[in-house]
Each structure stands twice: as C-alpha cells, then as structure tokens.
Amino acid sequence: MQKNQEISGIDVEALYRRYGAMVLRRCRQLLRNEDLAADAMQETFVKILRNQDRLHASYPSSLLYRIATNVCLNMMRTQRRRPTVSADEMLERTAGPDCLEDRLLDAWTLEQVFAGTREGTRRAAEMHYLEGRTLAETAEQADLSISGVRKRLRSLREQNLAIMAM
C-alpha cells in the first residue's frame, strides 16, 4: 500500500496487522488502563469497519491515531459523567461463604439483583463481573456491540442503586 495512494474500501485486517500496536499504545497512553485500552482499540477498528466504504485517507496511520484519540476521549468523558460502580465489593461479600445461611442469602440477593432483567443482561453481567471478561469479549460472546453491553450493565447498576436507595 503506497502512502500517497488514496484508500477506498479500506482493508481493515491489513490495517489491524500493521497499525494495531500503534493504536493500542495510544489508547494505553491516554487511558492508563489495560482493559479500557484494549476496548478502545477494538472500538477504533470497529469504527473503521463500519465506515470503511465511506473513508478516504491518504495516511491511514493518522486516521487511526485520530479515531483512537477520539474514542479514548469519549471513554474518559463517559467515565467522568457516569462513574462505574465496582463489583469487587459485592464479589468479596459473596465469594466462598462457609455456612448454608450465607449461601442462601447470597442466592436470594443475586435473584433480587437480576429480578426483571433479560437473560442476556444477566449473562453479560456474569461474564463481565464474575468471569472477568473484557467488554469486548463479553460483547462477542453475547452477540452484542460493546456499547450495547455497556448500556445493559449501566442500566442494571442504575436499577440496583435505585433499589438500594429505598
């Protein structure tokens, strides 16, 4: 691929092989979080995939760098507006109870947390919070977009925060 040749119908796989490491470095630099950086890198290439027929760029590295920067800035903005609630505290409380009463209480609590939610939302929450999968891995397994997984997890958190406030 020549630098001065205009790209039409971008070969995303070739771009990923050639510039994936550069995009990941940029995301790591901005986000300072390995999981978020990996999600941002994937989101960058998803944007390229979705718009590959409309994109025209003489310099693909500049295009990818700019898209990655925008994706990271959007993620940082979203985190500031809607900070995530950590599942670590809940996991520590439910991990390995020794007595039957604790196990029953934990099972009841989880049923309350997931009451009225779709099965897909429950599975996405289990994959992300309990199995430790990234948003991208969860999205792939649940056959959703990364933003779809985020939206479902956010609505689940908001629903349970409202219940806990009562």
Structure tokens at 119: 């099965």
40 within 8 A of 31, measured Cβ to Cβ: yes
Q: How far apart are CA 58 and CA 4, in angstroms?
A: 6
Architecture of domain 7-81: Orthogonal Bundle (1.10)
- The domain ranges of the chain are 7-81, 88-165
Which position has the token pair 């997931």? 114
- Kindly state the tokens that stand for 76: 């940082």
From first to last of the 166 residues of the chain, give the pLDDT tens digit.
444 344 446 778 888 999 999 999 999 999 989 999 999 999 999 998 888 878 766 788 888 999 999 999 999 888 887 765 555 555 555 555 456 676 676 667 667 777 777 888 888 888 887 778 888 888 888 888 999 889 888 888 877 766 666 5
88-165 has which CATH code? 1.10.10
* pTM passes above 0.75: no
For 98, phi then psi, to 5°, come to -90, -30
